[in-house]
């Protein structure tokens, strides 16, 4: 085994690899850009080497700098993580030439699988079922239309060099095929510097189900079962799980065997993933193979009990796999959610800034199942626009799917993030939906369930009572403390019942609250004598307790007036006041809605990709105005109100700063 390993990556995956190395007694070196100088990975690694300024092209993608760092530190092997150089055959070859082990498969396997057209040919030859289509390069839009009609609409137009959901278009007719060919080709050219396009059948109501494989340098390959990753937004995974709620043992076995056959065909000698698209009849088709560790590998680890990074290190060092297919056992169910620095309420725009608060839930058993947190950030970190917006992964394992989901919901309730926007309310909303719990997933799930974007969920009656109880307890506690401090009431645990009014979402509820040492007894309009038990103390943002014996947690954020309370995807401003104050408020004129302004500004620094509107154009709220690229994502900026465009201040190709003027309305 190696004694020193370098990690050529950043963020949570760098930390993930360091943890396993530390457990195995392997020394670690991490490389970092200036943006990551104070990062958790740098702090945890035994050694850290600066490799350049923040842009990835000048740091994490610069092969020469990384090779220099390997030599300077004497690392014997490099783990590439995912993204960056993980699937770059030139990088693997350079390491080989330097006598350094690449913790990944052989170069020929990377090359064979790195190209979608080439890999589909290898797969078809290995007896793997591939998506029906034209396995070859399409010359022009005319040929695209002809081939699309032969395959039969709908079709998927794809970049052969594609990845990360880019360079991909669905076409339902000839016109869309023509347009889709052009736009996929443009996107592929700019994203991958490779404009080769092919076309395959678009599988309807598809599920994305992938098989984890593991091979060694001695001819053994096993699979570690499947992961279902159908919950995607714009072809990028958001929630993953293992096993899949859809597969039966026969289909699972057939998919596993085909994945192993494909891996064996390229002498696969590391951890890798064979991705399939599965239709509603459980027919499955090969999509692509990712020749690296996958973001969502924790769910496979949780159901198999294996450490995939350890397995990768062992096989890279030349060890034989110690397990045969029959030794691979599955236990329980695991779910993973990806925590992104993005604003779900504003079209999932990336959110950058300082993480003034970052407190993940505790790892270990949370009463429903076991929680695992993979993250590369700590409180106080700056989230920059240079890299992927994923800041953490939250995974839970339960005896069955329901337990894993319950554990996830409970863990999300405790995830305390402030300073930037994050997608935890959205993740809670999805995990709480009946359709999700029923396992009725397809890759269109998010688009179908949230056609107009995400605007939060309306809390159910019990959740609403929990939210009010927390706000009332916090408010009444604060009022009593203040009164005691000024000597207005005697210091005693008076169990006095007081009348209050809770105002929320335009509604009002008359409640009574009697605080005691263990919590409070609260009369709600429809639930008299509800019992709240809590250890909460003023100043804590996570409010945990039990309401009528049901444990709950929520985020309680003091606002200018009242509290912003977040739970299970619901977000409400709750104001608790005296009945008299509530009456006075009611007699005050309604506040006029704030003018959303005549100016549309860029929510983050980025690059203007395209502008969809022109001067004088009539715009309806919600209409797309322009696309700004940041954090490797294209973000659609939409109109927040109706209006007529007076001036367009941004042109495609322009770099814009945060808050820079993009469009002015009349």
Q: Which residues here bind ligand ADP, judged by CB under 6 A?
A: 9-13, 81-84, 131, 156, 162-165, 168, 200-203, 206, 208, 232, 235-237, 275, 277, 287-288, 290, 294-295, 388, 390, 443
Burial per residue of 514-540, b for 16 or more beta-carbon CB atoms within 10 angstroms, e otherwise:
bbeeebbbbbbeeeeebebebebeeee
Q: Which is nearer to ligand ADP, 30 or 511 (CB)?
A: 30
Which partner from the list Mg ion, ligand ADP, none does 11 bind, CB cut-off 5 to 8 Å by kind? ligand ADP
CB of 128 to ligand ADP, least distance (A): 14
Nearest to 374 by CA among 9, 10, 15: 15
CB of 36 to ligand ADP, least distance (A): 10
Q: Which is nearer to Mg ion, 86 or 424 (CB)?
A: 86
Q: Which is nearer to Mg ion, 163 or 551 (CB)?
A: 163
Task: Say how far apart CA 525 and CA 194 lie, in whole Å.
Answer: 64
Residues 271-310, mask of contacts with Mg ion (x by CB under 5 A): ----x-----------------------------------
Q: What are phi and psi of 242, to 5 degrees?
A: -145, 135
CB of 86 to ligand ADP, least distance (A): 8
Task: Say how far apart CA 71 and CA 97 lie, in whole Å.
Answer: 12
Query: CA separation (Å) from 609 to 157, 184, 310, 315?
Result: 21, 14, 41, 43
In sequence order, what are the beta bridge partners of 102?
Answer: 78
Which partner from the list Mg ion, ligand ADP, none does 388 bind, CB cut-off 5 to 8 Å by kind? ligand ADP
Which partner from the list Mg ion, ligand ADP, none does 372 bind, CB cut-off 5 to 8 Å by kind? none
**Strand runs (DSSP E) across 492-642, as ranges?**
498-504, 507-516, 519-524, 527-534, 542-547, 550-558, 563-567, 570-577, 599-601, 606-611, 618-619, 624-630, 633-638
Helix axes 63-73, 89-97, angle to 10 degrees: 30
Using Cβ positions, the residue closest to Mg ion within the complex turns out to be 275
CB of 386 to Mg ion, least distance (A): 23
Q: Which is nearer to Mg ion, 119 or 304 (CB)?
A: 119
Q: Which is nearer to Mg ion, 197 or 467 (CB)?
A: 197
CB of 288 to Mg ion, least distance (A): 5
Residues in 320-359 at the binding interface with Mg ion, rule: CB under 5 A: none
Stretch that binds Mg ion, among 51-59, 239-247, 268-276, 445-453 (CB under 5 A): 268-276
Q: Which of 288, 301, 336, 342 is catalytic?
A: 288
Dig out the tokens for 641 from the structure: 């109100």
Task: Say how far apart CA 105 and CA 292 lie, in whole Å.
Answer: 8
Task: Say how far apart CA 596 and CA 601 lie, in whole Å.
Answer: 12
Q: Which is nearer to Mg ion, 19 or 234 (CB)?
A: 234
Backbone dihedral region for residue 308 (phi beyond 0: left; psi -120 to 50: alpha; all else: beta): alpha
Q: Which is nearer to ligand ADP, 459 or 606 (CB)?
A: 606
Backbone dihedral region for residue 279 (phi beyond 0: left; psi -120 to 50: alpha; all else: beta): beta
CB-CB neighbours of 491 under 10 Å: 10
CB of 290 to Mg ion, least distance (A): 6
CB of 205 to Mg ion, least distance (A): 18
Which partner from the list ligand ADP, Mg ion, none does 366 bind, CB cut-off 5 to 8 Å by kind? none
Cβ contacts of 64 within 8 Å, gap of 6 or more: none
Q: By the 8 A CB rule, do 102 and 270 touch?
A: no
Which partner from the list Mg ion, ligand ADP, none does 205 bind, CB cut-off 5 to 8 Å by kind? none
Dig out the tokens for 129 from the structure: 């079922």
Which partner from the list Mg ion, ligand ADP, none does 439 bind, CB cut-off 5 to 8 Å by kind? none
CA 442 and chain centroid, separation: 17
CB of 500 to ligand ADP, least distance (A): 46
Count of residues that bind Mg ion according to CB under 5 A: 1
Q: Which is nearer to ligand ADP, 61 or 431 (CB)?
A: 61
Q: By the 8 A CB rule, do 130 and 286 touch?
A: yes
Using Cβ positions, the residue closest to ligand ADP within the complex turns out to be 83
CB-CB neighbours of 204 under 10 Å: 10
CB of 275 to Mg ion, least distance (A): 5
CB of 640 to ligand ADP, least distance (A): 29
Which partner from the list Mg ion, ligand ADP, none does 164 bind, CB cut-off 5 to 8 Å by kind? ligand ADP
The DSSP secondary-structure symbol of 652 reads T
Residue keyed to tokens 């319950």: 406
Task: Say how far apart CA 245 and CA 247 lie, in whole Å.
Answer: 6
Which partner from the list ligand ADP, Mg ion, none does 314 bind, CB cut-off 5 to 8 Å by kind? none
User: Torsion angle, CA of 47/50/56/58, rounded to 10 degrees?
Assistant: -140
Stretch that binds Mg ion, among 78-86, 257-265, 267-275, 454-462 (CB under 5 A): 267-275
Q: Which is nearer to Mg ion, 275 or 336 (CB)?
A: 275
Which partner from the list ligand ADP, Mg ion, none does 356 bind, CB cut-off 5 to 8 Å by kind? none
**Residue 666 designated active-site:** no
Which partner from the list Mg ion, ligand ADP, none does 165 bind, CB cut-off 5 to 8 Å by kind? ligand ADP
Q: Which helix (H) or strand (E) holds 96?
A: helix 89-97
Q: Which is nearer to ligand ADP, 128 or 287 (CB)?
A: 287
Task: Write out the DSSP string of 172-218.
Answer: SSHHHHHHHHHHHHHHHHHHHS---EEEEEPPSS-EEEEEEEEE-TT
Residues near Mg ion (CB under 5 A)? 275
Catalytic residues: 288
């Amino acid at each position: 085994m190696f004694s020193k390993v370098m990690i050529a990556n950043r963020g949570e995956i760098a930390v993930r690899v360091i943890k396993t190395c530390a457990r195995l007694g392997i020394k670690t070196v991490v490389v970092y850009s200036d943006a990551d100088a104070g990062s958790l990975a740098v702090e945890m690694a035994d050694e850290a080497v600066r490799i350049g300024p923040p842009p990835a092209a000048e740091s994490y993608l610069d092969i020469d700098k990384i090779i220099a760092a390997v030599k300077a530190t004497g690392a014997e092997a490099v783990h590439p993580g995912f993204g960056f150089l993980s699937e770059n055959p030139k990088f693997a070859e350079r390491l080989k030439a330097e006598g350094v082990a690449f913790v990944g498969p052989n170069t020929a396997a990377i090359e064979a699988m790195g190209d979608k057209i080439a890999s589909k040919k290898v797969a078809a030859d290995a007896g793997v079922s591939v998506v029906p289509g034209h396995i070859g390069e399409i010359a022009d839009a005319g040929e695209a239309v002809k081939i699309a009609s032969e395959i039969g609409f709908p079709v998927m137009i794809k970049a052969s060099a594609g990845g990360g959901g880019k360079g991909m278009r669905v076409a339902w007719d000839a016109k869309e095929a023509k347009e889709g060919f052009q736009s996929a080709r443009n996107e592929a050219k700019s994203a991958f510097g490779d404009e080769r396009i092919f076309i395959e059948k678009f599988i309807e109501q598809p599920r994305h189900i992938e098989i984890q494989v593991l091979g060694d340098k001695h001819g053994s390959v096993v699979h570690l079962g499947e992961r279902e990753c159908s919950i995607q937004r714009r072809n990028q995974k958001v929630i993953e799980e293992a096993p899949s709620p859809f597969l039966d043992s026969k289909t699972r076995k057939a998919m596993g065997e085909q994945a192993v056959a494909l891996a064996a065909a390229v002498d696969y000698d590391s951890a890798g993933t064979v991705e399939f698209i599965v239709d509603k009849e459980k027919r499955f088709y090969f999509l692509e193979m990712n020749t690296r560790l996958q973001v969502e590998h924790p769910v496979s680890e949780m159901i198999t009990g294996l450490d995939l990074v350890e397995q990768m290190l062992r096989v890279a060092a030349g060890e034989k796999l110690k397990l045969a297919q029959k030794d691979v056992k599955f236990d329980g169910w695991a779910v993973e959610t990806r925590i992104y620095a993005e604003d779900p309420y504003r079209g999932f725009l990336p959110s950058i800034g300082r993480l003034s608060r970052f407190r993940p839930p505790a790892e270990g058993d949370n009463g429903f199942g076991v929680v695992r947190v993979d993250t590369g950030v700590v409180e106080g970190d700056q989230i920059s626009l240079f890299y992927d917006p994923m800041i953490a992964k939250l995974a839970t394992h339960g005896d069955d799917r329901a337990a894993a989901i319950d554990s996830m919901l409970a863990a999300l309730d405790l995830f305390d993030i402030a300073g930037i926007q994050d997608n935890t309310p959205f993740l809670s909303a999805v995990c709480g939906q009946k359709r999700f719990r029923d396992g009725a997933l397809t890759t269109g799930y998010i688009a179908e369930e949230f056609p107009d974007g995400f605007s939060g969920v309306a809390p159910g009656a019990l959740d609403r009572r929990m939210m009010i109880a927390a706000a009332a307890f916090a408010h009444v506690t604060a009022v009593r403390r203040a009164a005691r401090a000024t000597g207005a009431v005697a210091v005693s645990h008076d169990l006095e019942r007081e009348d209050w009014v809770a105002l929320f979402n335009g509604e009002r509820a008359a409640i009574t609250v009697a605080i005691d040492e263990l919590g409070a007894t609260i009369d709600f309009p429809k639930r008299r004598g509800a019992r709240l038990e809590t250890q909460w103390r003023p100043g804590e943002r996570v409010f945990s307790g039990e309401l009528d014996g049901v444990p709950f947690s929520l985020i309680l954020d003091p606002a200018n007036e009242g509290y912003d309370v977040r739970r299970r995807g619901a977000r409400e401003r709750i104001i608790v006041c005296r009945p008299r104050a509530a009456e006075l408020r009611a007699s005050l004129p309604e506040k006029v809605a704030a003018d959303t302004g005549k100016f549309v500004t860029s929510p983050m620094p980025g690059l203007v990709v395209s502008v969809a509107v022109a001067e004088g154009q009539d715009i309806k709220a919600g209409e797309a105005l322009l696309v700004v690229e940041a954090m490797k994502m294209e973000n659609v900026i939409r109109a927040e109100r109706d209006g007529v465009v007076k001036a367009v201040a941004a042109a495609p190709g322009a770099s814009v700063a945060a808050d820079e003027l993009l469009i002015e309305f009349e």
